[in-house]
Amino acid sequence: MSESDYYRVKEMMFDFMAKAGIERPLPVGTNKSNAKYYYRQALRYGDKTAAEDHKKRFTQLGGDPSELPRHVKLAHPLSGLHKTLRFDFRQSLTPEQSEVLERAVDWYKEEVFTR
């Protein structure tokens, strides 16, 4: 279970999308989206003070703090792949790739979602 598995899954997912002719979602870095990202990172590392600072910054930039839990859910390894395609994606994986996916989901649940 590691962060590298998480990024390997993202890479596999983007390859799958490319082969299916689906445009890859492009991240748009804004001050508000950065505040959400750093909020999640602070939670992940257990820095509640920094998390509160980033939450305040997000709110100052016009963000709704009730969006923050949703943002954490959007960090799921398969986020960005429409739910109707997730079965096909999973079916396209080799057994080894399926194990990587499972480790990535475990990592997400342990390191990102539960904080």
Render pLDDT for 24-33 as a digit per residue (tens, 0 to 9): 877 667 898 8
Q: How far is CA 96 from CA 9, 63, 81, 104, in A?
A: 11, 40, 20, 12
Residue 57 pLDDT level (bands cut at 50, 70, 90):
very high
Domain residue spans in the chain?
3-113
pLDDT of residue 114: 58
